[in-house]
Amino acid sequence: MAAARPTSSPSGALCRQLLLTLTILTFACDACKKVTLHVPSKLDAEKFVGRVNLKECFKSANLIRSSDPDFQILEDGSVYTTNAILLSSEKRNFTILLSNTENQEEKKILVLLEHQTKVYKTIKMKYFLPM
């Protein structure tokens, strides 16, 4: 004869509640599309770096922050340097944090900075001699 399984236990209910809370928090802090900006290896202070479409990610954000103090994000999504920066490696990244302080919702946009490389094309010209 099999033992009867309890229908509900306090620890099981607590686990379900914690799982539900974790699920809600995970959805409340979604990541949006990654953005890549091609920049020169040297960026002067207070210079425009690029623009990110913040509304595409989170329309109701009322607080916009950067995870990196070397970058400032304006309401229209413009990214500016706050200090002069020398990109020593080929890539650097930071996160734009978008928050709605009224409902505590938050979303993130990963911004990847890559060295702007100049591409030189070699044009091969063929010379034809008239006959």
Q: What is the pLDDT of residues 6-26, one digit of tens each?
A: 555 666 665 456 444 444 444
Kindly list the domain boundaries of the chain, sorted by start residue: 31-115
Fold of the domain built from segment(s) 31-115: Immunoglobulin-like (2.60.40)
In angstroms, the CA 100 to CA 58 distance is: 9
Secondary structure E strands in 10-88: 29-31, 35-39, 42-43, 48-51, 63-66, 71-73, 78-81, 85-86
Distance separating the N- and C-terminal Cα atoms of the chain? 105
- What's the pTM? 0.66
Q: Which helix (H) or strand (E) holds 27?
A: helix 10-28
Q: Please, what is the Cα angle at 101 between 98 and 107, to 5 degrees?
A: 25
Least confident of 32-36, 114-118, 123-127: 123-127
